[in-house]
């Protein structure tokens, strides 16, 4: 349900990544992507965040074994590079 994958859908995954970014950056990205008014977009994102975190069934949470990556100041390429580095590190530790 929603944006929750690590705590309910794949709780035993070897790699769990909790992507985050500041509300301002997410607003900028969404507004640019959809060509929408940024103030309206910001309010919609805030409402969505509150709804997903506060819902009774499967609230959006960061599991204790998830790696948190703040993407606020990262480009898409940098995000992918960091995820690949993290994943490679996890799997190299298993060998």
* Chain centroid offset of residue 31 CA: 17
Confidence at residue 31, expressed as pLDDT on a 0 to 100 scale:
92
Q: What is the pTM of this model?
A: 0.79
Q: What are phi and psi of 51, to 5 degrees?
A: -65, -45
- Interatomic CA distance for residues 18 and 7, integer angstroms: 11
d(C-alpha 89, C-alpha 34), whole Å: 35
Q: What is the pLDDT of residue 3?
A: 65
The residue ranges of every structural domain in the chain are 17-94
Could you list the pLDDT tens digit for every one of the 95 residues in the chain?
346 688 888 889 999 999 999 999 999 999 999 888 899 999 999 999 999 999 888 888 889 999 999 999 999 999 999 999 999 999 998 76
Give the pLDDT score at 26.
94
């Amino acid at each position: 349900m929603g944006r929750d994958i690590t705590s309910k859908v794949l709780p035993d995954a070897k790699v769990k990544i909790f992507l985050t970014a500041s509300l301002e950056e997410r607003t900028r990205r969404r507004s640019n992507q959809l060509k929408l008014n940024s103030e309206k977009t910001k309010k919609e994102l805030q409402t969505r965040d509150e709804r997903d975190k506060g819902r009774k069934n499967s609230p959006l949470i960061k599991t204790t074994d998830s790696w948190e990556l703040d993407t606020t100041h990262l480009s898409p390429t940098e995000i992918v590079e960091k995820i690949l580095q993290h994943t490679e590190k996890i799997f190299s530790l298993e060998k």
